[in-house]
Amino acid sequence: MEKINVGILGCGIVGTGVAKLLMEKEKLLESRIGTVINLKNIADIDTEKDRGIKFKKGVMISDAFKIISDPDIDIIVELIGGNKIAKDLTIQALENGKHVVTANKALLASFGNELVKTARQNQVDLAFEASCGGCMPVVKTLRESLVGNCIKSITGIFNGTCNYILTKMSNEKCPFHDALQQAQEKGFAEADPTLDIEGFDSAHKLAILTSLAYGMEINLDDIHVEGITRISPMDIEFAKEFGYTIKLLAISKNNSDNIEAHVHPAMIPFSNPLSHVNNSMNAVIIDGDATGQTMLYGYGAGMMPTASAVVSDIADIARNLIKGTKRRVPILGCPESNIRTIPIQPVKKIHTCYYFRFTAADQPGVLSKISGILGDFGISIKTVHQKGKRSNGYVPIVMITHMAKEEHALNALKGIASLETIMDDPIVIRIEE
Amino acid sequence: MEKINVGILGCGIVGTGVAKLLMEKEKLLESRIGTVINLKNIADIDTEKDRGIKFKKGVMISDAFKIISDPDIDIIVELIGGNKIAKDLTIQALENGKHVVTANKALLASFGNELVKTARQNQVDLAFEASCGGCMPVVKTLRESLVGNCIKSITGIFNGTCNYILTKMSNEKCPFHDALQQAQEKGFAEADPTLDIEGFDSAHKLAILTSLAYGMEINLDDIHVEGITRISPMDIEFAKEFGYTIKLLAISKNNSDNIEAHVHPAMIPFSNPLSHVNNSMNAVIIDGDATGQTMLYGYGAGMMPTASAVVSDIADIARNLIKGTKRRVPILGCPESNIRTIPIQPVKKIHTCYYFRFTAADQPGVLSKISGILGDFGISIKTVHQKGKRSNGYVPIVMITHMAKEEHALNALKGIASLETIMDDPIVIRIEE
């Protein structure tokens, strides 16, 4: 093949990065792939903006529909983002017989099953390495490198904004809102950070990876999601004393007959390699029954790391096209006919260890009442400390429990919160040992 | 395709693991790949030994040559190890038109260029994910996921035995030989541990990965190799005080017109994620110009982790065969016609920072003489401490230098070692910042 034509939809940060890579690395890519990967067109509403990149005349256009219907273009790269126009364009591109590469986790998490079906009907590829964990090759690792493994669990730090904020809070003992503001000033957090700090971005990625890991349909709706806004420097300090770091984790576990999938802040021991993943870095531990725990670590976002992942997908499809083939690796890791619907267990059914912090009246008998209620629900305490300074006659009581069922923990906490000697809602953080 | 027949050469630890995976995961693999991967034969001299696995009648045979000439077998898996019979069988298998999967780093490091050539001449694949870093998908990541990157450097902990010993020495402050003995008792080190502790095993892996990273021929001979036998608990303790961990690192760097490639113990700061890679775990940081630093971490050896990597190669080739193709990704990352011969720089030409420990007479003027000689060679000192206890009138002097050229450092050390006030050879450990 003389060359393979690529069309990019959206020239935002990642679109610019992909265009840069394709143009600046044209020779390198040709030397590795054996064919020129040619950026034929890139579409954006704003064709005039200076993006620090000089396109040849006619490459930048405003009409995305022209690109997806161009018979000369083999691969469409969707980098618009969001669920609206991006969805329409992606589906039309697939229906036009184009292979599609996307970094759009929100789109995949919500409409991935429909897109996979459309790709199958039109016998084209849909690739999305950049949607989960930036440049970390997590999709390729799950679909190809771990093909001989039953995946037991995935535990990931998939949101750089949250990790930056939690690292900042931990290092500088500053409250959440100060850390968020610094993250915004440094460009690590969006003006509206809701998607990140409330855990939804991590949930999008977890929905995709859970599907790949266990051969099941993408299911975003049943993933339990909590963000990091309730984490305080006090809890981070207590965690350290117990030997833990607090991270926003996306977790899925294979319980054979069902799957767990939940996103929330969690305490992990210093011995867990994820506890050393700081600032805006991402990492994921995949536990395979043959490999044991294996970890990928890298930049989970940013112009060039994300562009690198997009280009790896383009190269994968190009290497197929050169060999006259396509759809070599099934989109979700196994042929669509083998994709199952496996229920995601409600979070109240999971078993885990807990960190609780109560604000309790500094008077005799309080601890006995708390531990009595926990005992009534079968929850046994591993460690308890009355820590820190008395304030207005109240002191923090922190404890670590042994394994307990989530719904028992929640019911016990309801009982404890209703005690007259307890002020404020208890703080609850799950522990991943 | 109804099924794809596989023949394994060698039923040692990894061979047994691969057979187990293929047999126990037959349904899982079929559900993911879309075709049965059938273990037709496995050859070993000892066909009677109980390996905890029950082969169907006729599967285990003693004649490896029968397997490589069986027209029904598509993929040969070479797990004999070493450079002799394994080489002959691999070359004959390739010449017979078989695709070959191997975990044999020694063979690839020494004869890889010849094998690649033979594979090209016979238009078959040669896959070796398991040869470098066990289950870490480092070959796939370099050849596929980072295809859009100029690789700037590779820094890896590739030998579990050495990492186990260094971790033990660090945690228990025990001398090298005690740690080695414990490693042998626990099965982490061979009866003859030379290949591991002298750094050769790491060099084999580095030779392969350096070729993949920079598109150059495999060149084992020019890699500088030092082992860990001279590391003492004292240096590990001093390193900690300076904020460093000592690891056996395999390092290659891209200096545009030449390549660095060296294996030796090195100090790395606690902020480097490799410093937290302990016990027998392996990890590698790949620095790409688009991705920045990305890390893979996992079990670098062992029956099932290595078998998992072998099976991923089998699946890759099987997915090609199903699609009627082969040689989809070039063996060394770019087509053989684009492979260059790039010189590996002699280690005396590299620039790095150093840790020096001198055993010096506890008298005035010694430090001045040492620093004078270093100054004469243009080596500037960052930190110096006279540390630890006096013994027979001698004290250890430890120092950290700024960047210096290796040959200047060696010449300076020669001068310092010849001082009357200096006992023993100085200890030199490179620092990777």
Is there a contact between A294 and B135 if contact means CB atoms under 8 Å apart? yes
- Record: contact A31-B324, CB cut-off 8 A: no
Chain B closest-CA separation from residue A123 CA (Å): 13
Q: Averaged over A173-195, what is the pLDDT? A: 93
Q: Exposed/middle/buried for A54, CB within 10 Å: 0-12, 13-18, 19+?
A: exposed
Residue B389 has pLDDT above 80, yes or no: no
Measured CA to CA in angstroms, residue B423 lies from B83, B408, B427 at distances of 43, 21, 11
Query: Is the CB of A293 less than 8 angstroms away from the CB of B298?
Result: yes
Q: How many CB atoms lie within 10 A of CB A112?
A: 26
The residue with greater pLDDT, B23 or B385, is B23
Q: Are the Cβ atoms of A292 and B273 closer than 8 angstroms?
A: no
- Return the domain boundaries, chain B: 3-135+303-338, 138-299, 348-431
The pLDDT score that the predictor gives to residue B388 is 66
Q: Which of A295, A259, A250 is nearest to A432 (CA)?
A: A250
* pLDDT tens by residue, B240-278: 999 999 999 999 999 988 999 999 999 999 999 999 999
Query: pLDDT at residue A256 above 90?
Result: no
pLDDT at B213: 98
Taking contacts as CB-CB distances below 8 angstroms, the residues of chain A near B294 are 135-136, 296-299, 305
Query: Under the phi-then-psi rule, with left for phi > 0, alpha for psi from -120 to 50, and beta for the rest, what region is B218?
Result: beta
pLDDT at A391 over 80: no
Angstrom CA distances, A98 to A126, A244, A317, B144, stand at: 9, 48, 11, 21
Predicted confidence (pLDDT) per residue in A277-303, tens digit: 999 999 999 999 999 999 999 999 999
Q: Are strands A36-43 and A60-61 parallel, antiparallel or unpaired?
A: parallel
When scoring B28, B129, B294, B334 by the number of chain A Cβ atoms within 10 A, the one with the most, hence best to mutate, is B294
* Closest CA relative to residue B106, chosen from B90, B123, B122: B90
Q: How far apart are CA B68 and CA A359, in angstroms?
A: 72
The residue whose two tokens read 């420990």 is B357
Q: What is the pLDDT of residues A324-338, one digit of tens each?
A: 999 999 999 999 899
Catalytic position from the list B40, B105, B140, B205: B205
Q: In the numeric block, which tokens belong to residue B62?
A: 């003693």
Q: Which of B135, B215, B288 sits opposite A308 (nearest CB)?
A: B288
Q: Which sign does the torsion angle of CA A337, A342, A344, A350 carry?
A: negative
| CB–CB contact A329 B319 (8 Å) | yes
> Under CATH, which number does the domain A347-431 receive?
3.30.70.260
What class does CATH assign to B348-431?
alpha beta
| Of A416, A397, A392, the residue nearest A357 (C-alpha) | A397
pLDDT score of A22:
98
Distance between A308 CA and the closest CA of chain B, angstroms: 6
Mutate to test the interface with B, among A39, A145, A146, A151 (most CBs of B within 10 A): A145
Q: What is the mean pLDDT of chain A?
A: 96
- Report the length, in residues, of chain A: 433
Residue A390 has pLDDT above 90, yes or no: no
Q: pLDDT, tens digit, for every residue of A12-24?
A: 999 999 999 999 9
**Are B330 and A215 a contacting pair at CB < 8 A?**
no
CA–CA dist A163, B106 (Å, integer):
41
A147/B311 CB distance under 8 A: yes
From the list A205, A326, A349, A389, the catalytic residue is: A205
The shortest C-alpha distance from B39 to chain A (Å) reads: 14
Q: Residue A306: closest CA among chain B residues belongs to which residue?
A: B291
What span, in angstroms and rounded, lies between the C-alpha atoms of A144 and A330? 10
Of B148, B292, B305, the CB nearest to A292: B305
C-beta neighbour count of B27 within 10 angstroms: 9
Mutate to test the interface with A, among B8, B23, B32, B101 (most CBs of A within 10 A): B32
Query: Residue A331 class from Cβ within 10 Å (0-12 exposed, 13-18 middle, 19+ buried)?
Result: buried
Q: Would you say the C-alpha torsion A19, A21, A22, A24 has a positive or negative sign?
A: positive
Instruction: Return the number of other C-beta atoms located less than 10 Å from residue A37's C-beta.
Output: 25
pLDDT at B153 over 80: yes
Rounded to an integer, what distance in angstroms lies between the CA atom of residue B381 and that of residue B159? Answer: 32
Q: Considering only the beta carbons, identify the residue of A136, A148, A293 that sits closest to B311.
A: A148
CB B395 within 8 A of CB B229: no
Q: A380, exposed or middle or buried, with CB in 10 Å at 0-12, 13-18, 19+? A: exposed
> How close B419 gets to chain A, by Cα (Å)?
44
Residues of B in contact with A276 (CB under 8 A): 273, 276
Cα–Cα distance for residue pair A349/A159, rounded to 1 Å: 26
The amino acid occupying position A191 is A
Helix H segments across A138-190?
138-140, 160-172, 176-185
Q: What residue type is A83 in one-letter code?
A: N
Phi–psi pair at B86, nearest 5 degrees: -60, -40
CA distance A325 to B328: 10
Scanning A270-398, the segments in alpha helix (DSSP H) are 303-322, 366-376
Q: Which helix (H) or strand (E) holds A278?
A: none
CB-CB under 8 Å, B333 with A307: no
The angle that helices A233-242 and A160-172 make with each other, rounded to 10 degrees, is 80
Do A304 and B312 count as a contact with CB atoms less than 8 A apart?
no
User: Is A205 part of the annotated catalytic residue set?
Assistant: yes
C-alpha dist (Å) from residue A121 to A97, A114, A248, A264, A341: 10, 11, 38, 37, 20
- Backbone torsions φ then ψ of B417, nearest 5 degrees: -65, -25
Measured between beta carbons, the chain B residues lying within 8 angstroms of A125 are: none
Contact B329 A307 (CB under 8 A): no
Q: Which ipTM score applies to this complex? A: 0.96
- pLDDT for A9 beyond 70: yes
pLDDT of residue A76: 98
Let me know the angle formed at the C-alpha of A82 by A77 and A86, rounded to the nearest 5 degrees. 45
The whole-angstrom separation of Cα B313 and Cα B21 is: 13
Neighbouring C-beta atoms of residue B83, cutoff 10 Å? 13
Q: Do B137 and A135 touch (CB under 8 A)?
A: no
| Chain segment B165-180, per-residue pLDDT in tens | 999 999 999 999 999 9
Quote the pLDDT of residue A190. 87
Q: Is the pLDDT of residue A405 over 70?
A: yes
Beta strands across the sheet bearing A36-43: A60-61, A36-43, A3-9, A75-78, A99-102, A126-127
- Please report residues of B whose CB lies closer than 8 A to that of A215: 31-32
Task: Return phi, psi of residue A94, to 5°.
Answer: -60, -45
* CA neighbor of B188 nearest in space, from B162, B166, B167, B170: B162
Give how far Cα B233 sits from Cα of B237, B245, B397, Å.
6, 12, 15
pLDDT computed for residue A388 by the predictor: 66
Within this chain, domains A3-135+303-338 and A138-299 share the same CATH topology: no
**Listed residue (A281, A334, A338, A63) closest to A157, CA to CA:** A281
Alpha helices in B71-186 (DSSP H): 85-95, 105-121, 138-140, 160-172, 176-185
pLDDT in tens, A201-253: 999 999 999 999 999 999 999 999 999 999 999 999 999 999 999 999 999 99
What band does A45 get if pLDDT is binned at 50, 70 and 90?
Answer: very high
Give chain A positions within 8 Å (CB) of B136.
294
**What residues of chain A lie within 8 A of the CB of B127, using their CB?**
none
Tokens 């700090």 map to which residue? A197
On whether the CB atoms of residues A386 and A396 are closer than 8 A, the answer is yes
Cβ distance of B319 and A328 shorter than 8 Å: yes
Enclosing H/E stretch for B383: strand B381-386
**In terms of CA atoms, which chain B residue is nearest residue A302?**
B291
In chain A, residues with a C-beta closer than 8 Å to the C-beta of B325 are 323-325, 328
pLDDT of B1 above 90:
no
Architecture of domain B3-135+303-338 in this structure: 3-Layer(aba) Sandwich (3.40)
Interface A-B, measured as beta-carbon pairs within 8 A, has a size of 194
pTM greater than 0.95 (yes/no): yes
Cα four-point dihedral sign B128, B130, B131, B137: positive
Among B347, B359, B404, B407, residue whose Cα is nearest residue B226? B347
Cα–Cα distance measured from residue B346 to residue B188, given in angstroms and rounded to the nearest whole number: 32
Q: Provide the pLDDT for residue B139.
A: 98
With beta carbons under 8 A apart, name residues in chain A contacting B299. Answer: 291-292, 294
CATH of domain B138-299: 3.30.360.10
Q: What is the number of other CB atoms lying within 10 angstroms of the CB of residue A419?
A: 15
B314 CA: distance to closest CA in chain A (Å): 10
From chain B, pick out residues whose CB is under 8 angstroms from the CB of A304: 289-292
Pairing of the two strands A99-102 and A126-127: parallel
Whether B32 sits inside 8 A of A215 (CB atoms) is yes
